[in-house]
Amino acid sequence: MSDNFYRSNKVSSQPITFQNQFKMTVAANLFIPKDLDTSVPAPAIVVGHRCEGANEGEPRNVVSPDLYAETFSAAVDYLTLQDFIDPERIGALGICGSGSFVISAARIDSRIKAVATSSMYDMGAVNRNVHVHELTPDTPDIQREFYYFYRTSRGEYMPPPGSMRDLTTHPTLSSMARLMNFYPFNDIDTISPRPMQFVSGDQAHSREFSEDAYAGAAEPKELYCDLYDRVDLIPFAKFAEFFENRLAVNNTATQ
């Protein structure tokens, strides 16, 4: 894994909690620019890493697409209650599997005015076609890679160390049924006229998911295939440009 946990000295971070519609407490971090003028309503971006770590909920290791999508909306709920946030200028970014969950959220939550994804995985398609629980001599390389990470001790702890063992390596089997019935790109065109941006590694196995989503989405939409797995190569400038333009005053979609 790349050491992508860079913390800018231009922002302050504070832990926050808020409830989702299921009355579960969600834990998050709120990053605020140190030079922010709080007297002027500012745009905000929800970066979703879903319901892991310090979040409430039992049993642990349950994977629920509906719950993950709802967490994006719950974060928007929280932001709209902050005096220094402009509720009409809230965007969302989903990374890896969260890319499919943010799309699912944006389809039904018009308060999300701009959507971006980075190396998105369609988690429904992945679980229907990619994940395996055992290896055979004929197992393709990409499925072996998934197995060695998500089904062995290699994936038990991510930097910084996780608080629970087997957080990603042993999801409940009932979760798989939910994911197999998850089709995040259905009706993706209904997100329009709100803009969407898809960024993927140019050699990434996941590239096909960004291309599929882009093909199904309506305008305005953008697709970039670039390098992804090193801090100095992640196209942060593309994300910054997208959100700065799309969440600018008087430039957000109203539907």
| Tens digit of each residue's pLDDT, the chain (255 residues) | 344 566 789 999 999 999 999 899 998 999 999 999 999 999 999 998 665 666 666 766 778 899 999 999 999 999 999 999 999 999 999 998 899 999 999 999 999 999 999 989 898 998 888 666 778 888 877 778 777 777 776 665 554 454 455 455 567 778 788 889 999 999 999 999 999 999 998 877 789 999 999 999 999 999 988 655 555 666 788 899 999 999 998 766 545
Give the pair of three-digit tokens for residue 175. 């979760």
3-state secondary structure of 233: coil
Per CATH, the number for 11-125+185-246 is 3.40.50.1820
Helix (H) or strand (E) holding 112: strand 112-118
Question: Cα separations (Å) of 103 from 8, 97, 113?
Answer: 28, 11, 12
Question: Cα separations (Å) of 53 from 9, 160, 174?
Answer: 24, 11, 20
3-state secondary structure of 154: helix
pTM, to two decimals: 0.84
Helix (H) or strand (E) holding 69: helix 65-80
For the chain, what is the radius of gyration of the CA atoms? 18
Give the pair of three-digit tokens for residue 109. 């939550």
Residue type at position 94: G
In the DSSP assignment, the letter for residue 156 is: S
Question: Scanning the structure block, which residue is given the tokens 């709920």?
Answer: 77
3-state secondary structure of 224: strand
Question: Cα separations (Å) of 194 from 18, 93, 129?
Answer: 26, 14, 30
Q: Which ranges of 49-115 would DSSP assign to H, the alpha helix?
A: 65-80, 98-108
